[in-house]
Structures are given as C-alpha cells and as structure tokens.
Amino acid sequence: MNLLFGPGGTGSPAAEGLKIIADKGLKVAELEFTHGVNMSNETAKKVGEVAKRLGMSLSIHAPYYINLASEEPEKITASKKRILDCCERGHHLTAKYIVFHAAYYGKLGKEECFRIVKKEMLEMQKVIAKNKWNAVLCPETTGKGSQFGTEDELVRLSLETGCGVCVDFAHIYARNNGKINYDEVMPKIKKVKELTCHFSGIEYTEKGERRHILTPTDKIKELLAAAKKHNISLRIINESPEPLADAEKMQGIWENFK
C-alpha cells in the first residue's frame, strides 16, 4: 500500500506553487478551478511539464456550479461543458483525476437521479474518448443529504460506467452527523479502480457539511489506521484552510505511524 498527500490548491502561478509543494516532499496536488476554468491550454502544457519533471500526480477540482440532474436542460449542458473543459486542461496538465460534485436530488427520487447522472457521465466519457484526453471523471462523495453522492451511489456509478471516484472522508463524516465507519467504507471503495480522495477537518449541522476546518490529529490517525488495516493505497488531497501545512502534517504522522 502507498499513501500520498498533497494540498488542494497550488497558488498562482501554478508552476511555482508545484515547486514549493514538491520541496516539502509532497507528491500530489489538486488545481482548484472551482470558480471557473481560467487557464489556457498553452499554460496548462507548461505547468504539466513542470509536474512531470517534479514527478507529481495532479488532479483538478471542477467548478462548483454543476448539476447533472437539473430540471433545466441548459444547466445540464453548461455543467457538462465545465467538466469537459477541465478534462481538456487536465490532459495538458497531466492532471488525470477530474473531481466534481455531480448533482442535487431536487424533486427527483434517488434512483431517477442516479439514472440521469449515469446517462450524462456516459455521454461525457464518449467525448473524452473521442478527443483521446487522458482524463478520468471522478464524482465526489458529498457532504449534504440534498446532494447526490453517497459512497454507495458513487461506487455503483463507477462499476456501471468505469468512472473514477473522489472519496471525501470529511464529507462522509458530515453527511452522517459526525460518524464514519471505516470498516464499512474501505471495502466499498477498494472496488473502485481509479480512486482519489479528500480529507480535512469539518464543521457540520443536522443538514450536513458547513465548512472545512483545520485537520485534527486524532481524525488523521483514524484515517491512516483504517487505510493500514484495510491495506488500501490512497491519494489524499487536504482541503483545510491551510492545505499545504495540513498535508505536511498528515505525511509526517504517516511516516511516524508506520
């Protein structure tokens, strides 16, 4: 098994940020396109070359404004464009994993929502294959009950479409009112071929996720112990308010943990 840690966000310019991250001994990072895809293909290629030289594994967090099960067809179309724009940039960046919050249930039943999301995922995968982009769609486990994206839904989606999954352990924790049973979660996610993860501290209400906070040491140790127990390799992006420092913290704990 192998655990890799890195921050959500590289700073600007991204190439310089990657060098700083690599200097800390970290091997993974996630570029945040959460408010829009504001990087050209030309710039992406240059950043990708830097990542190659540094031996870093990259992912992208797509914009927040995504709902593949919207009642309004134009919003689904716009959502798919944002995701596919990230796939195109990701190909040039060597950022294989394209992470996004897939949908809201809205007025839909959960099974109907799943069916719609699956349909749109398969359509996007056809575009990815046609363009020969090295990009894997990774819908993320979500932190609120109103959002599509339980670990069961996403593992099923992965098995039925071949997509990847981003498992945000903090979101699972918040969605379940401060509970996470790693002995149930880990065997499920081991079924996913293309897996990336998020982790941080988190505040929550009865409705689920409220905001990410600094990552408590005891929660880090719980996650690492579970990964070791279940012999699972994880690529973990920290999304706390201080993601680089907390990613370093996680790596330091893991080095002493073993």
Reading the block at residue 31, the tokens are: 């570029």
pLDDT for residue 105:
97
pLDDT for residue 140:
98
Residue of 224, 216, 231, 230 lying closest to 257 (CA atoms): 224
One digit per residue, pLDDT tens: the chain, 258 residues? 899 999 999 987 999 999 999 999 999 999 999 899 999 999 999 999 999 999 999 999 999 999 999 999 999 999 999 999 999 999 999 999 999 999 999 999 999 999 999 999 999 999 999 999 999 999 999 999 999 999 999 999 999 999 999 999 999 999 999 999 999 999 999 999 999 999 999 999 988 999 999 999 999 999 999 999 999 999 999 999 999 999 999 999 999 986
pLDDT for residue 258:
65
The C-alpha angle 223, 194, 109, rounded to 5 degrees, equals: 85
* Residue tagged 């970290």 (tokens): 26
- Domain limits, the chain: 3-257
Reading the block at residue 34, the tokens are: 């959460």
Query: Hey, which residues does 30 pair with through a beta bridge?
Result: 8, 59
- CATH number assigned to the domain covering 3-257: 3.20.20.150
On the CB side of 252, CA atoms within 13 Å amount to 8
Reading the block at residue 141, the tokens are: 């486990």
How many whole angstroms separate alpha carbon 172 and alpha carbon 142? 7
CA distances from 157 to 45, 114, 127, 150 (A): 31, 8, 18, 11
Residue of 15, 13, 25 lying closest to 254 (CA atoms): 25
On the CB side of 176, CA atoms within 13 Å amount to 15
